[in-house]
Amino acid sequence: MKKNNEIYIVGHRNPDTDSICSAIAYADIKNRSEKTKIYRAMRAGQVNEETEFVLKYFQVDQPDYLPDAGTQVEEIEIHKVPGVSGDMSVKQAWNSMKEQNIVTLPITTKTNRLQGLITVTDIAKSYMDVYDSDVLSKAKAQYSVIAETLDGEILVGDGQKHFETGRVIIGAFHPDMMSSFIHEHDLVILGNRVEDQLCCIDLKAGCLVVGLGAKVSNSIKKLAEEAGSVIISSPHDTYTIARLINQAIPISHLMNAKDLIKFSISDKVDDIEEVMKNSRHRDYPILDKRGCYVGTISRRNLIGLHGKRLILVDHNEKSQAVLNVGEAEILEIVDHHRLGSLETVGPIMFRNEPVGCTATIMYEIYHERRLKIPQKIAGLLCSAIISDTLLFRSPTCTPLDQKAAREMAEIAGIQDLEKYAADMFRAGSNLEDKSAEEIFYQDNKRFNIEKTVFAVGQISSMSGEELHLIKDKLIPHLEMECGKHDVHMVFFMLTNIIEESTELLYYGEGAKELIEEAFHTEVGAASCVLPGVISRKKQLIPAFMRALQEKD
């Protein structure tokens, strides 16, 4: 279960095409460059329609979902202690614990469901605290198990039956007195005296345990069989038999089955650590997502534990990162945005370039490491650049972005870049059947600037009519989103790729004034048109930053 060699490469929450495609590409680069670790592309949110179109077009699987950067139980070393049947005897359990050098045994069903736990302490208590002579029958010990525990054999009777009624008695009485002490169904430990054996059978004892391997005559065997009594022969003396016999108790009788502290493989380590601090158990059972037992962990597993190891692409803002990113160890960041709020414990590799797309940086890294770019990944990188630069129309686009996109298109076999871009944008803006909430969170980023927290979403389309329909859905929804997660203001960019302009929707106290101060334009009741503004990163956010800084 331990994933020490795995490093996750992940983009921001509400991932866009660049975030997903750059993670896939960088995982390919790292796995081909470094053989000692395993790099896995992950996603921190739902893939949008545009990205889904790109992945299907180039036949690339979606990265797995990483909802939380906190370490989960499945990522630490789980002791593969096999579950045992509740029918196992105390003696067998003790021997198993010694062989495995463990102090806790899980008891499971045939379908691997956890029934209970038995510990060395439970076994010790069974010897120190039990004084009842009928404990063996209360536990319904099986005769074959009793014989095995006493290193003996069954001479008469069905070993599959259980000792269900009666006490354990040592037959050290004169035959004349036995009737006063031995009752029907009792288990009697005795020696080789024939008269004692006959007396026990006459008194309808359920089982005779004959010590020192003494011979039992055929006549006694026949009488016992007729009476329904079991005869067990043991090589041990009476004292040893009496000392060992309680070890035949099935562990289901001693196990702890109530209020078990157990964890799931999906539980966060921080959460279970708190539970462990407030309990005194040595080992804790772990269940999989179906509720089946998989192993145990102890406090020792958490000593020196490292969190998930991450490489972040296409972002460096804590508010945009996967949840609980602070619990993870960030190894690298590759990005093309402004410097954000993420902090790391130590120095890391941080590559940040003023280009239009993180995929362009991936293109550079492939060339720097002299790695051939696979056809499918070339298609992904080209698509990401088209998406982030709005097919080179965005002011964030650089000559390097264009060069990289055209070179990747040639490798990927994209014959008509304009037509492919139109198909991709059309897939991404096909929002007719989506709710306002789904549209809002498709590409939404949260910012914290000068103690002001605001969120900005964006949809780009080549159809003005489609953008108008989206506007009618979104305006009432912005009010619902404002105030969530400490967000003071909410904005949404409806970007027309053909006209190279954005209609900016807004809601929240101070939102209208911020737009007016940032762009020196008149603002309507719920929106305003910003000609020439199509980039959130290079046009909208910098303008908001300047306005907020000048205000303070």
Q: Which of these, 447, 443, 457, lies nearest to 548 by C-alpha position?
A: 447
Among 10, 19, 65, 27, CA closest to 325: 10
What does each C-alpha distance from 278 to 34, 228, 281, 300, 402 come to in angstroms?
42, 53, 9, 15, 59
Buried-state track 513-538, b at ≥16 Cβ within 10 A, e below 16: ebbebbbeeebeebbbbbeebbbbbb
Q: For position 1, what pLDDT does the model report?
A: 40
Any idea which residue has 């989960």 for tokens? 72
- 6-71+307-427 and 140-248, same CATH topology: no
For 98: left if phi > 0, alpha if psi spans -120 to 50, otherwise beta; the answer is alpha
- Residue 309 parent element (H or E): strand 309-313
* Residues of the chain below pLDDT 70: 1-4, 129-131, 304, 432, 552
User: In angstroms, rounded to a whole number, what is the distance separating the alpha carbons of residues 547 and 552?
Assistant: 9
Architecture of domain 436-551: Roll (3.10)
Cβ contacts of residue 306 below 8 Å, gap of 6+? 4, 71, 329
CATH of 6-71+307-427, one of 3.90.1640.10, 3.40.50.880, 3.40.190.10, 3.90.1310.10: 3.90.1640.10
Buried b vs exposed e over 416-432: b needs ≥16 C-beta within 10 Å? Answer: ebeebbeebbbbbbebe
How far is residue 328 from each of residues 269, 307, 445, 461, measured CA to CA in Å? 12, 5, 21, 37
Q: 75-127+253-302 sits in which CATH class? A: alpha beta
> What residue type is assigned to position 179 of the chain?
S
Q: State the pLDDT at residue 304.
A: 66
Q: Check residue 531 and give its pLDDT.
A: 95
Note whether 45 and 63 are within 8 A (CB): no
3-state secondary structure of 63: coil
Q: Say which residue the tokens 């790099």 belong to.
A: 39
Dihedral (C-alpha) 73, 76, 82, 85: value to the nearest 10 degrees?
-20
Exposed e or buried b per residue across 456-489, where buried means at least 16 C-beta atoms within 10 angstroms of its C-beta: bbbbbbbbeebbeebbebbbebbeebbeeeebbb
- Where do the domains of the chain lie? 6-71+307-427, 75-127+253-302, 140-248, 436-551
d(CA 134, CA 138): 6
Q: What is the pLDDT of residue 2?
A: 47
CA angle, 4 then 28 then 372, to 5°: 145
Strands (E), 78-181: 104-108, 114-119, 141-142, 153-156, 162-163, 168-170
Rounded to two decimals, the pTM is 0.66
> Which residues contact residue 69 at a Cβ distance below 8 angstroms, ignoring those fewer than 6 apart?
307, 308, 310, 321, 322, 323, 324, 325, 326, 327, 328
Q: Which fold has domain 140-248?
A: 3.40.1390
> What is the Cα–Cα distance from 497 to 535, expressed in whole angstroms?
11
Give the span between the Cα atoms of 168 and 524, in whole angstroms: 93
Q: What is the largest CA-CA distance in the chain?
A: 116
Contact in structure between 374 and 29 (CB atoms under 8 Å): no
Q: Taking the mean position of all CA atoms in its chain, how far away is CA 375? A: 33
Cα 17–Cα 22–Cα 28 angle in degrees, nearest 5: 135
Q: Cβ distance 401 to 385 under 8 Å?
A: yes
Count the helices and strands in the chain (H runs, E runs).
Answer: 19, 23
* pLDDT single digits (tens) 183-234: 999 999 999 899 999 999 999 999 999 999 999 999 999 999 999 999 999 9
Return the amino acid letter for 539. Answer: Q
